[in-house]
Amino acid sequence: MAGRRDPGRAAILEAIRGALGRAALSADGAGELDARLRRHPAGLIPAQGKPKAEARLAQFQAKAEAVACTVERLAGADRVPAAVAEYLRRHNLGPELALAPEAWLEALPWDRAPMLQLRKGAASGVERVALTAAFAGVAETGTLVTLSGPSHPTTLNFLPEHHLVALKASQVVGAYEEVWAALRKAGKGRRPALPRALNMITGPSRTGDIELEIQLGAHGPRALHVLLIDDEGGDGGQA
Amino acid sequence: MSSHAEPLAFKANARRALADRDLDTALGRMTSGLVPNRARAVAALPEFEALRDRARELKDHVLVNLDHYLERFETNCLASGGQVHWCPTAEDARRIVLEVCRAAGARTVTKSKSMIAEELGLNGFLEANGIRPIETDLGEYIVQLADEPPSHIIAPAVHKTKEQISELFHRHHARYGLSQRQTEPRALVAEARQVLRQKFLDADVGITGANFLIAESGSSVMVTNEGNGDLTQTLPRVHVVIASIEKVVATLEDATTILRLLSRSATGQEFSAYTTITTGSKRPEDADGPDEFHVILLDNGRSALIGSEFQDILRCIRCGACMNHCPVYRSVGGHAYGAVYVGPMGAVLSPALIGIERGLHLPNASSFCGRCESVCPMRIPLPKLMRYWRERAFDSGAAPAAERWALRAWAWAACRPRLYAQGARLAARLLRLLGGSRGRIGRLWLAGAWTATRELPAPEGRTFQERWHAERERSDG
Amino acid sequence: MPEKALNVGLFITCLADLFRPTVGFAAARLLEEAGCRVHVPLQSCCGQPAYNAGDRRDAQRLARQAIRAFEDFDYVVAPSGSCAGMLSVQYPELLKEDPNWAARARRMARKCYELTAFLADVLKIEALSARYNGVATYHDSCSSLRELGIRSQPRALLSLVENLRLSDLDDEECCGFGGTFCVKYPEISTAMLDRKLDRILASQPDLLLAADLGCLLNLAGRLKRRGSDIEVRHIAEVLADMAAETPGIGEGEGP
């Protein structure tokens, strides 16, 4: 990679090297550091990031609920449309649903919730409720991981007041490191296949900026509802 | 070394702050909330101490190889469609931000919380150049309305009561047709959400800070709770990240180790509501996102700390735990420090940025109680670093001459134990006399700073060493 | 209990030497009753005021002086967490660049102890012939707590004092002394001090104890100014059953 002719760049690198009392690293020295980057050793994963397989889902749900998510277990993906319709009715949200253009979401039996009006694509600011999928759920802290892309506009995570997430049980992993491993695999050994925005979402939006009293819905959604679909089970973080 | 720089008016600020009852209430609320929250989170994670050790190691490793990791960061950022700007000084950074904003034809710019932007005085600079910056983090928005600097690195408006915020909103939101005054926090938050929503949508450029930069992928990591940071970096056409160079970590896994410590240390949360890893700009097939992704790498004095006795401060991840637990911060709040970085980490970092002459009081206004170090997730030895600043001040003459001479005179005597002991015997008798039958002294020449608020207990009358040797000689002889 | 009598150098500390020799005699009594031979070499200051003021050279001079005076004893014991911390934690750091002294400082540091830690951890005292009628609250000095990790030892020793009830403060905040901090930033110091005392007064103890005279002079001084009659003593006085021999800190024979 050719060096960039940025005087600021040269100045900063020189200043750092001067402070360290050395020149730029030798090829060997740089090679060693790059080897560590390629190895990307996992750090210390706490026990709570390594729940037993059968405890994973329960832990994910408990952690998510502890940070003000609501979690609804569904026996199968085909139950999603009805569950969504029920959520909208319960919260008086009207019939409009912003839907992430995710293939398996679009293929769900929406005819079972005919009153819903589906709007696909990015959010524009008028939507009150959105349904997206997720890349993974992390049981360590009840966290959802979403990847921006054509089937997941980032704005759906943040503009609407209510964010519904359809998450399959098979997507729930123990620790964040398992998500990174999946992305590295997808990147085929070069850089990890990171999208523009990888969002790790742990509960709805909140602030304590007024007298340290926690209020939900500061700018992002005030409600985060997870539809946890009991599919075949097992581990992995595949979308 | 400038011998003309005056120390910031810390003592006067502190005096004012101590008389402010609202501030005392607000700070009391902060400590009674955030302190037990952190303690609970730490108690619930058995691996916490081990993680602190790992975090320190991986960060120290990066710092002594910072040139390499910055280069790798740049390579990978460029490869994912980002642009990297290396800014040795604050002025360079301001200039680049302005250039990017002008190129984008920006009229309004949304900002999520960035201490670096504070350090650059970015808001004032943009306004002077005809661009309106809008703070979107609720706490930053509040202090922006109040035309004040933030007083805490993660809770910028912690010094404000809800009545004060209610008043601010009532005055400033009238222009949006919101004439009814809100008083309850829930309603105030809802009103801010409503007002800022359109500003998010209208902004041409979004400026965010970064908690970390990841070398292996050229990504920035942003940790927030409100969602304003994500709206700031998703809706506009251009996204600018401002980060200081020591924010780099090597890998996703290394970032994860530190992320496990960050929210627990700051607020007691296991993880923040929104932790976002941003890599490059919008991909051709993406449904939304900015067209441009810029990363500003700011030095502004960091490289000078590498290899110095102050290097450890570069491990700071801006969690705020130190100031949440500091009794001095608890007493006077953030504004008294008069600097961008406040509390114990500010007492070490600010003199590095503004000079020890101006920042003289910051490392001196500490009892070295050590709570900061005990809660710092990155194990930064803050009191030791403050002591190093005191050494620099002592040697360079920044410390007041009268204090220096008094200390040296005292040390001269202490190096002569017989003389010192004689002095002690004299003082013991004199003060005992002055204490009288009450056993304490209410007013004492030269001890006004003590006796203004405290009695001075009188000595017993003879020193231990003289009595010990007299009694032991008697019993031996 | 050690078989051969330990030679203990008593590091009296400037404040105990000047203000309250009773503390030194109480410490000596406790050490001697446990079988130690107590020595008091000619001594002055550990150097902490210079060290914390940034006067590294003078601090180093005083450190070398103290090491010379004390390094040949089996142990060095100080009735102060602040001074003990200086001797056992800071001296090696202070003299680390001096090839002639670095090792000596480390060697000495290993045998320097704060008094309650020495009594509990080295002498392993399990019984005291001391009694005190009343409720006491114990204040941990920052050095004892955070620099030296001392917390259980003073409480364990106090539990051996007959009739003494301990009311736990459950508070780890600084009292505001901090050496010269309390006179350089007196208003902040007093704010910290008042918060601390409000918490102490809330439990209404008869007796306030600590193991550092800096804290004790500070706490007693403010308590008296606030009109409180809580008795303030160094923990050694109570452990050595010497509370009856001297008025509390800041009290005289008269009113």
- Kindly state whether residues C111 and C44 are assigned to the same domain: yes
Residue B41: which CATH number?
1.10.1060
**C134, two tokens:** 């009343």
Last residue of a domain, one of B350, B380, B399: B399
Question: From its phi and psi, is residue A114 left (phi > 0), alpha (psi between -120 and 50) or beta?
Answer: alpha
A67-114 pLDDT, tens digit per residue, is 999 999 999 999 999 999 999 999 999 999 999 999 999 999 999 999
Q: What is the pLDDT, as a whole number, of residue A192?
A: 81
Q: Write out the residue range of the structural domain in which residue B380 sits.
A: 1-45+312-399
* Surface of C (57-86) touching B: CB under 8 A: 58, 61-62, 65, 69
- Kindly state whether residues C170 and C79 are assigned to the same domain: no
- Set of chain B residues whose Cβ sits within 8 Å of the Cβ of A203: 273
- Kindly state whether residues B21 and B142 are assigned to the same domain: no
Q: Strands (DSSP E) along B173-231, which ranges?
A: 205-209, 212-214, 219-224
Quote the number of domains for chain B.
3
Q: What is the pLDDT, as a whole number, of residue A234?
A: 43
Could you tell me which chain A residue has the CA closest to the CA of B279? A196
Evaluate whether residue C165 is within a structural domain.
Answer: yes
Q: What is the pLDDT, as a whole number, of residue C170?
A: 84
Evaluate whether residue B237 is within a structural domain.
Answer: yes
Evaluate whether residue C12 is within a structural domain.
Answer: yes
- ipTM for the predicted complex comes to 0.97
- Kindly state whether residues C153 and C98 are assigned to the same domain: no
Residue C181: which CATH number?
3.40.50
Evaluate whether residue B52 is within a structural domain.
Answer: no
B390 vs C53, C142, C146: nearest CB: C53
What is the value of pTM for the model shown? 0.96
Last residue of a domain, one of B288, B304, B320: B304
- Kindly state whether residues C23 and C58 are assigned to the same domain: yes
Q: What is the pLDDT, as a whole number, of residue B1?
A: 43
Question: CA nearest B110: which of B211, B221, B210, B238?
Answer: B238
Q: Write out the residue range of the structural domain in which residue C225 sits.
A: 127-239
- Kindly state whether residues C17 and C114 are assigned to the same domain: yes
Residues paired with A71 in a beta bridge: A226
> Is the pLDDT confidence value at A236 over 50?
no
Question: CA nearest A124: which of A85, A88, A158?
Answer: A158
* Surface of B (44-103) touching A: CB under 8 A: 45-47, 50-51, 54, 58, 64-72, 74-76, 79-80, 85-88, 92
Evaluate whether residue B57 is within a structural domain.
Answer: no
C179-199 pLDDT, tens digit per residue, is 999 999 999 999 999 999 999
- Kindly state whether residues B85 and B225 are assigned to the same domain: yes
DSSP per position, chain C: --SSPPEEEE---HHHHHH-HHHHHHHHHHHHHTTPEEE--S----SHHHHHTT-HHHHHHHHHHHHHHHTTSSEEEES-HHHHHIIIIIHHHHTTT-TTTHHHHHHHHHTEEEHHHIIIIIS-------EEEEEEEEE--HIIIIIS--SHHHHHHHTTSEEEEE---------S-TTTHHHHSHHHHHHHHHHHHHHHHHT--SEEEES-HHHHHHHHHHHHHTT---EEEEHHHHHTT-TTTSPPTT--S--
Please indicate whether, in this complex, the C-beta atoms of A19 and B70 are within 8 angstroms of each other: no
What does the pLDDT profile of chain B (477 residues) look like in tens digits? 444 578 889 999 999 999 999 999 999 999 999 999 999 999 999 999 999 999 999 999 999 999 999 999 999 999 999 999 999 999 999 999 999 999 999 999 999 989 999 999 999 999 999 999 999 999 999 999 999 998 888 889 989 999 999 999 999 999 999 989 999 999 999 999 999 999 999 999 999 999 999 999 999 999 999 999 999 999 999 999 999 999 999 999 999 999 999 999 999 999 999 999 999 999 999 999 999 999 999 999 999 999 999 999 999 999 999 999 999 999 999 999 999 999 999 999 999 999 999 999 999 999 999 999 999 999 999 999 999 999 999 999 999 999 999 999 999 999 999 999 999 999 999 999 999 999 999 999 889 999 999 999 999 999 999 999 999 877 654
- Kindly state whether residues C54 and C96 are assigned to the same domain: yes
Evaluate whether residue C249 is within a structural domain.
Answer: no
Q: What mean pLDDT comes out for the span A119-141?
A: 95
Evaluate whether residue B36 is within a structural domain.
Answer: yes
- Kindly state whether residues B407 and B392 are assigned to the same domain: no
Last residue of a domain, one of C121, C146, C167: C121
Please indicate whether, in this complex, the C-beta atoms of A12 and B271 are within 8 angstroms of each other: no
Q: How far is C125 from chain B (nearest CA, A)?
A: 24
C11-68 pLDDT, tens digit per residue, is 999 999 999 999 999 999 999 999 999 999 999 999 999 999 999 999 999 999 999 9
- Kindly state whether residues B133 and B187 are assigned to the same domain: yes
Please indicate whether, in this complex, the C-beta atoms of B75 and A21 are within 8 angstroms of each other: no
Evaluate whether residue B289 is within a structural domain.
Answer: yes
Query: CATH number for the A53-229 domain, one of 3.20.20.70, 1.10.1200.10, 3.40.50.10420, 3.40.50.970?
Result: 3.40.50.10420
- Kindly state whether residues B356 and B472 are assigned to the same domain: no
Quote the number of domains for chain C.
2
Evaluate whether residue C98 is within a structural domain.
Answer: yes
- Kindly state whether residues B351 and B275 are assigned to the same domain: no
Sheet holding A117-120, edge to edge: A69-74, A223-229, A162-168, A129-132, A96-99, A117-120
Q: What is the pLDDT, as a whole number, of residue A235?
A: 40
Please report, for chain A, the start and end positions of each structural domain, with discontinuous segments joined by +.
9-38, 53-229
Last residue of a domain, one of C103, C121, C139: C121
Last residue of a domain, one of B399, B427, B446: B399
CA distances from C122 to B42, C130, C235 (A): 31, 20, 18
Evaluate whether residue C226 is within a structural domain.
Answer: yes
AA identity, residue B213: L
Instruction: Give the burial class of C110: count Cβ atoms within 10 A of its Cβ; 0-12 exposed, 13-18 middle, 19 or more buried.
Output: exposed
Q: What is the pLDDT, as a whole number, of residue B6?
A: 81
Q: What mean pLDDT comes out for the span A129-137?
A: 98
- Kindly state whether residues B423 and B382 are assigned to the same domain: no
- Kindly state whether residues C84 and C169 are assigned to the same domain: no
Count Cβ–Cβ pairs < 8 Å, chain B vs chain C. 224
Q: What is the pLDDT, as a whole number, of residue B274?
A: 98
- Kindly state whether residues C233 and C133 are assigned to the same domain: yes
